[in-house]
Chains A and B, each alone.
Chain A
Amino acid sequence: MRFDPATVAAFVDGELDDLTARRIEREAESNAALAAEIARHRALKARLAAHFAPVAEEPVPQRLRALLVDDKVDTSLSARREAKAARFGAMQWGAVAAALVLGLTLGSHPWTPAAEVATDKGALIASGPLAKALDTQLASNQPGDAAVHMRLSFRDRGGRYCRSFESWVFDGIGCRDDGRWRLERTIAGQPKADYRQASSGELAAVAAAMMAGDPLDAAGEQAARDAGWSR
């Protein structure tokens, strides 16, 4: 069976009806040329997405934001709350940007973590040492000098396993999604010396709001880990 180039492109773009898409998928299993053509299209798309993704993660320049948000006028309680939420948002992205830059520029030094965040379609995904720590490190049994400290493990309302963590660059909560740790919240980390107190309260509050039931105890955490954090 042959598919014209436009159909292959439409398949990769998710533009085909289910029936045709399934026919292409089946055909690609045994048709190497078709499979290669699909891979070629996917590679281009992935490369463009990876190239432009960092732009959407930069903090929005103040000159643009200022056109839409009056950060200075602070008349009502709701305006203050709104401004606070906005600042928190900017801080979050700032932390992520810092993690990305630090991770990349310092990653070659053995004493600092390699980059710990990747992006996929706009979602932040834990990677490198952070992903490894989320995968394997137990809050109940971790070295005091670990680069990443696990705090709470719990299930969210969607049934996913989530884990809050703290590190020297940023703190956050990762949830197990599709075999990866999707970062749901990130908060600017603290210098190592006082990294316990700083954002723990805020992180715990966010975790409590996401949690369905109680956090996992040591046995529950270990069992979940041993089962690969699958639902």
Chain B
Amino acid sequence: MRFEDELVELLPRLRRFARGLARHADDADDLCQAAIERALKSRDQWQQGTRLDSWMYRITRNLWIDERRAAGRRGPHDPIDDGIGQIAGDGAAEVEAGALRGDVDGAMARLPDEQREVVMLVLVEGYAYREAAEILEVPIGTVTSRLARGREALMHYLGEAA
């Protein structure tokens, strides 16, 4: 499969990851766009046979971190209030999750960046600890401790029942 085609397949997931990091839909897509442009420019650095998804997630995450640092310490973003997209779902569970959407966004926004990225990679994107550690280029113990702190904070913000 062509490099570009593999990236196209990856895009829906990458957008989800970016949304968790950048939160606002437009910012997240800007981040994706920057990541794709970077990937196309530095495609020679991707080694055939290694996972393209991990490589793309790493690029995306690094661009996001650069942006956050450039913007300086702005503190947590304002809770989302523009109702990103439509609440999509069905059945009681998803309707409820949709109605409480603002809460999850608000809770995620209160996490420090280094916890938010680990939460997204492991709890949402489903990466193994080792894979998340590779994407973030940190030791696995760092992943597990940040994840534990992020989890506890989220449970706290969202209530015991999560």
> Measuring CB to CB, which residues of chain A are less than 8 angstroms from any residue of chain B?
5-6, 9-10, 13-15, 40-41, 43-58, 60-61, 63-65, 67-69, 86, 97, 100-101, 103-105, 107, 114-119, 121, 127-128
B6 to chain A, nearest CB (A): 9
| B32→A54 contact, CB < 8 A | no
Residues of B contacting A9 in the complex (Cβ-Cβ under 8 angstroms): 144, 147-148, 151
B112: min CB distance to chain A, Å: 17
Q: Flag if B148 contacts A104 (CB, 8 Å).
A: no
Query: Binding site of A, secondary structure by majority: helix, strand, loop or mixed?
Result: helix
Q: CA A46 – CA B162 in complex, angstroms?
A: 9
| Residues from 82 to 134 in B contacting A, C-beta threshold 8 Å | 84-91, 93-95, 97-98, 101, 104-105, 119-120, 122-124, 126, 128-129
Known: A5-B148, A41-B151, A64-B33. A118 touches B91 (CB 8 A): yes
**Given known contacts A47-B104, A51-B101, A127 and B158 CB-to-CB distance under 8 angstroms:** no
- Residue of chain B at shortest CB distance from A41: B151
Q: Which residues of B contact A58 (CB under 8 A)?
A: 12, 15, 85
In contact, B95 and A104 (Cβ under 8 angstroms): yes
* B63 interface residue (CB < 8 Å to A): no
**Contact pick for B33, options A41, A67, A114, A115, CB 8 Å:** A67
B44 proximal to A (CB < 8 A): no
Contacting residue for B154 out of A15, A44, A49, CB 8 A: A44
Residues of B within 8 A of A97 (CB): 88
Q: Is B59 an interface residue (CB 8 A)?
A: no
Cα separation A52 to B101 with both chains bound (whole Å): 9
Can you list 26 A-B contacts with CB-CB less than 8 angstroms, sorted by A residue number? A6-B148, A15-B129, A41-B151, A48-B119, A48-B124, A48-B154, A49-B123, A51-B105, A52-B19, A54-B87, A55-B15, A55-B16, A58-B12, A60-B11, A61-B29, A64-B11, A64-B29, A64-B33, A67-B33, A67-B36, A67-B37, A68-B40, A69-B4, A101-B88, A115-B90, A121-B126
Q: Which chain B residue has the least Cβ–Cβ distance from A13? A: B122
Q: Give Cα A50 to B92, complex, Å.
A: 12
Residues from chain A with a CB closer than 8 A to the CB of B144 are 6, 9-10
Q: How far is the CB of A88 from chain B (nearest CB, A)?
A: 14
Tell me whether B37 and A118 are in contact (CB under 8 A). no
Contact (Cβ within 8 A) B162 A43: yes
- Give the 8 A-B residue pairs with the shortest CB-CB distance, closest first: A115-B90, A43-B162, A44-B162, A54-B88, A50-B97, A100-B88, A55-B16, A56-B12
Are A51 and B90 closer than 8 Å at their CB atoms? no
The answer to whether A40 and B97 have CB atoms under 8 Å apart is: no
Question: What residues of A have a CB within 8 angstroms of the CB of B126 in the complex?
Answer: 121
